[in-house]
Amino acid sequence: MTGWRVNDKRSAVGPMSYCLPAPLDEEVTATLEAWRTSGKVARLWARDASLWTAHDEGQWLDWLNVIDREQEAAHGIMVFAEGARHQFKDAVVLGMGGSSLCPDVLARTFGHIQGWPQLQVLDSTDPAQIHALEGRLDLSRTLFIVSSKSGTTLEPNVFKDYFYDRVSQKLGKDQAATRFVVVTDPGSVLEDVAEAQHLAHVFLGLPGIGGRYSALSNVGMVPAAIMGIDVHRFLERAAIMARACASRVPPEQNPGVLLGTVLGTSARLGRDKVTLIVSPRIVSERVGSQKSERAG
């Protein structure tokens, strides 16, 4: 550990620590001080685009208050999920990139929750993977969640057309429509397609959130509810972290600013790779048992 410095901080969510080489630690400390003296945390929450390029960045920061909006929508999402839980054995997110990241993490973390559909994610166009997934499904008891904020992303639309055709062949188009829901931004082409085909439900996203920042919006919370996660409780826990990152919290005690500063400063100094080593306990015991069953 020669030449490394350990910093211990405390935030509203508890103790934090990080260990960096001395030169990097000095830059991180200086950057945090610059954030403090220039009030950058408050400027972030005020959507000050000058923190970036002073162009349209302020229009893409709806993730800052998405928790409040999503709490209002959570009841409707959970009502839909409750209605679906006894009808479907599996739920498959048809997405790509940002639209599939959060559902994939949730499926890996929580595993199959007893009494709810098992959540699976398709974000690969590899024919072998698609064929393997289809082979595991009972199409008559599978709910497909077509997720594309723009509604024009090629892969989710292709996935949707393929499985819609497969389910229609098995059950007819009227029944196939009841097995597809859409998560997309208002006014998208995908919303129009869903209405034209009378799909079961359209959950609208927030245009002011980019796909990779959409975990706490309907992009993440609709699959979460359908797999059996208590969305209200999930968002309440997220709100604790949001308050810990609030504008009044000093940068050195702000978990979001601290992590971003370490990552950003590292990148600026030429460290272009990051590995996150997390506790094995973050993976549900259900996931481990499922892997053992498949291996056996």
Residue 35 domain-assigned (yes or no): yes
Same domain, 94 and 192: yes
**Do 186 and 220 belong to one domain?**
yes
In a domain, 98, yes or no: yes
Separation of first and last alpha carbons in the chain: 43
**Mean pLDDT for all residues in the chain:** 92
pLDDT for position 275: 85
Comparing CA positions, the residue from 224, 296, 239, 263 lying closest to residue 31 is 263
The last residue of one of the domains, among 238, 262, 278, is 238
Q: Contact, 231 vs 221, CB < 8 A?
A: yes
On whether both 265 and 194 belong to a single domain, the answer is: no
Same domain membership, residue 277 and residue 232 = no
| Co-location of 78 and 202 in the same domain | yes
Does 217 share its domain with 131? yes
Which residue range forms the structural domain that includes residue 222?
62-238
Structural domain includes residue 51: no
> Are 34 and 175 in a shared domain?
no
pLDDT for the residue numbered 183: 97
> If pLDDT is split at 50, 70 and 90, which confidence band does 8 have?
confident
Using only the alpha carbons of the chain, give its radius of gyration. 21
Quick check: 287 pLDDT over 60? no
The label of the residue with tokens 């559909």 reads 117
Residues 124 and 234 in one domain: yes
Total of domains in the chain: 2
- The CATH number of the domain holding residue 172 is 3.40.50.10490
User: For the segment 17-51, what is each residue's pLDDT rounded down to a tens digit?
Assistant: 888 899 999 999 999 999 999 999 999 999 999 99
Confidence band of 290 (pLDDT split at 50, 70, 90): low
- The Cα–Cα gap between 163 and 155 comes to 12
- Quick one: pLDDT at residue 294? 40
* Strand partners for 142: 90
* Contact between residue 275 and residue 72 where contact means Cβ atoms under 8 Å apart: no
